[in-house]
Amino acid sequence: MDNEKDILEVRNLQVNFKTYAGDVKAIRNVSFDLRKGETLAIVGESGSGKSVTTRTIMGLNARNADITSGTIMYKGEDLLKKSEKEMEGIRGQDIAEIFQDPMTSLDPTMKIGRQIAEPLMVHKGMKKEKALAQALEMMKLVGITDAENRINDYPHQFSGGMRQRIVIAIALINYPEILIADEPTTALDVTIQAQILNLMKELQDKISTSIIFITHDLGVVAGMADRVAVMYAGKIVEYGTVDEIFYNPKHPYTWGLLSSMPTLDTGGDELPSIPGTPPDLLDPPTGDAFAARNAYALKIDTEQEPPFFKVSDTHYAATWLLHPDAPKVTPPDQIVARQKKYAEMQKDLVKQQRPSIPVEEEEEQQ
Amino acid sequence: MAKYLAKRIFYLILTLFIVITVTFFLMKLLPGTPLTNQAKLSKSQIHLIYEQYGLNKPVWQQYLLYLAGAVKGDFGTSFQFSDQPVSYLISSRIEPSLQIGLQAMIIGVILGVIIGAFGAMKQNTWVDTTTTVVSILGISIPSFVLAVLLQYYLGLKAGWFPIAEWGGFIYTVLPTLALGAQPLAESARFVRTEMVDVLSSDYIELAKAKGLSKTGVIYHHALRNSLIPLITIVGPLAVNIMTGSMVVENIFSIPGIGEQFVKSVLTNDYPTIMGLTIVYSFMLCVVLLITDILYGIVDPRIRLTGKAN
């Protein structure tokens, strides 16, 4: 821990939302690191707490949010202890965010050049002309054709894909250290999705930013991320490198997620899905929150919360199945096939290995 | 733009024509005659007077004659003030009405926007509750009730303002307040609702994520977007002020067209009724035209001459 390659360290984060019905425990003890230059994907279904996590990092939570514990260390300082004024200085400068829906995330009454230039004017105190000149460069960088003529256009004159490029330009104009992408391609059609993802990867190399990539789409994760954290009911249940999560998953929830993702090999009539719905976070169940939907649940799952078990130096999973005393279970067929593939990959690990960031020793988190 | 304007002006004339027609025939259905002392006049005297003013012709002929005159700019002479052409009567009286109406409109809307924006920013606090109460009161108290209250408390009891005279700016304060309450309340309520909506939108979230301060977000992004829909209620507010002025001008004895209008209806002064109706509808049409043009200026999405891509 306290790795100098870590740019962001989230520790034991707990966020509740105060509602009339009681406290909704949206984030329940979440810890993770973001390393310099990497892309960390946070995957989970709706309501698992992905967006709340990033909002908490940005300091943009709704008014009824209550951060009950935890630290978010950035450059040696805890973001949670910063004043609103200090956070304004960090947002859009050190940490920027791309939002889900490009159709609604641009101000409809402001010229897009001005919208892109705004962070420069706010953070660098730049004059409008100079900021607009830089905005123009950024528009070219994100691939907006005929940028010179379009800088004075309004958002409604652009297509969805182009608007998302503009949103990316706004986020990257100050070359932020961290870019949070909250489902940036969910609202786009598939071909545009691929373009936007490629653009993000390309720009990540150019301006060397770290990305937290929030998504529920595992297909997107495979191509984008270096590491993956799987979230369920306000907790991270498994994390590891992208290969480890895809080919050697250990948590039954990850199995479910992977099995419900159609691949070219998927046959049959019905796509497998995870039965049931996520638990009510007003009153989270004792033990493993996934137990009720888990075909592999053990008795202890309903009594005690599983700690993280180490699979490899980079791979941890919070499931009792990894306990030495646990009975051996066979994962679903598809997962077994994946694990076989993984074993083969490990055998000829010559050039199959993706150029991932060297990973230092990491102790078990709890 | 020129084409659009030409089209709008054509519609304006068409609207005025319809208003003239409808008003003319409705007016003829009014009970009573323009004569104040009918009982004392003999049949032949009445006949003579009717002859003089062309009132013994069939209504459709009177209508056509009126139209022919109106096209040439001749709106007839008033019955109450003999020898005074209606056009002179109106032009000499329109200034106080315009002054009070515009003052009420501008002050009301500006204050309303400020109050509404504050309410939205401090949503669900005592500030918000206060603004809501103020706007509900403003909407539900008719301007003539407010006028009498202001006249009694600020004019008569406190003695700060003249009660019912006309002379300079100080004389306009109470009528402006009485007429401005409604636009203030309506726009405060409207802006609050819009602003609450806008503040929860994605682009405000993005503006915050850019690092803009709270005031920066409001000033650069929230205000403009919540003010656009306000333009739609400017027309109805203008109507509100015009109708309100008819009573309020009477209460404060203001020599304006509102007061004149009421008198002319009471005395069946047909040419004056017609003239003032035309003036009122013309003003409303112009207000609506201005709001439509304004819409295009503040909202780029409905600009008339867009650059073709």
Question: Do the beta carbons of residue A195 and residue A161 sit within 8 Å?
Answer: yes
Residue B146 CA: distances (Å) to CA of A22, A257, A283, B182: 46, 67, 54, 10
How many CB atoms are closer than 10 A to CB B253? 14
Q: What percent of chain A has pLDDT over 90?
A: 51
Domain B94-266 fold is MetI-like fold (1.10.3720)
Query: Which two tokens mark A8?
Result: 């962001």
> Tens digit of pLDDT for each residue in B61-120?
889 988 988 888 888 888 877 778 888 888 888 888 999 999 999 999 999 999 999 898
Sequence-distant (6+) residues with CB within 8 A of A117 are A126, A128, A131, A132, A134, A135, A173
| DSSP secondary structure letters along B193-262 | HHHHHHHTSHHHHHHHHTT--HHHHIIIIIHHHHHGGGGGGHHHHHHHHHHHHHHHHHHTT--SHHHHHH
Residues of B in contact with A89 (CB under 8 A): 211
Q: Is the CB of A119 inside 8 Å of chain B's CB atoms?
A: yes
CB contact under 8 A, A109 and B299: yes
Sequence-distant (6+) residues with CB within 8 A of B266 are none
pLDDT top residue among A59 and A338: A59
Q: Which of B100, B54, B116 is nearest to B79 (CA)?
A: B54
Identity of residue A243? D
Query: Which two tokens mark A280?
Result: 């009510």
> Tens digit of pLDDT for each residue in A147-199?
999 999 999 999 988 999 999 999 999 999 999 999 888 888 888 888 889 99
Residues of B in contact with A107 (CB under 8 A): 203, 206-207, 221, 225
Looking at the predicted complex, does its ipTM rise above 0.90? no
Question: Do the beta carbons of residue A115 and residue A106 sit within 8 Å?
Answer: yes
CB contact under 8 A, A122 and B212: yes
CA distance A11 to A268: 43
Residue A230 CA neighbour count, 13 Å, CB half = 28
Q: Is the pLDDT of residue B178 over 60?
A: yes
Residue A316 CA neighbour count, 13 Å, CB half = 20
Contacts 24+ apart (CB under 8 A), B68-75: B70/B20, B70/B274, B70/B278, B75/B271, B75/B274, B75/B275, B75/B278
Q: Is the pLDDT of residue A117 over 90?
A: yes
Q: What are phi and psi of A97, to 5 degrees?
A: -135, 140
Quote the pTM value.
0.80
Burial of A264 (0-12, 13-18, 19+ CB in 10 A): exposed
Q: Is the pLDDT of residue A323 over 70?
A: yes
Q: What's the gap between Cα B208 and its chain centre?
A: 40
CB contact under 8 A, B206 and A105: yes
Residues of A in contact with B213 (CB under 8 A): 85, 88
Q: Is the pLDDT of residue B309 over 60?
A: no
CA distance A188 to A161: 7
Name the residue of chain B whose CA is nearest to A92's CA.
B210
Q: Sorting pLDDT into bands at 50, 70 and 90, what band is A366?
A: very low
Q: Sorting pLDDT into bands at 50, 70 and 90, what band is B306?
A: very low
Q: What's the gap between Cα A289 and its chain centre?
A: 21
Residue A338 CA: distances (Å) to CA of A186, A217, A258, A296, A350: 26, 18, 10, 18, 19
> Tens digit of pLDDT for each residue in A37-51?
999 999 988 888 888
| DSSP secondary structure letters along A166-202 | HHHHHHHTT--SEEEEESTTTTS-HHHHHHHHHHHHH
- Write down the H helix ranges in B72-168: 86-121, 126-140, 143-150
> Tens digit of pLDDT for each residue in B13-30?
999 999 999 999 998 888
CB contact under 8 A, B209 and A118: no
Q: Sorting pLDDT into bands at 50, 70 and 90, what band is A226?
A: very high
Q: Sorting pLDDT into bands at 50, 70 and 90, what band is A265?
A: low
Helix (H, G, I), strand (E, B) or coil at A98: strand
Residue ranges per domain, chain A?
1-94+176-265+279-366
Nearest-by-Cβ selection for A119 from B205, B211, B306 = B211
Residue ranges per domain, chain B?
12-71, 94-266
CA distance B180 to B107: 7
Q: Sorting pLDDT into bands at 50, 70 and 90, what band is A271?
A: confident
- A59–chain B nearest CA distance, Å: 9
Domain A1-94+176-265+279-366 fold is Rossmann fold (3.40.50)
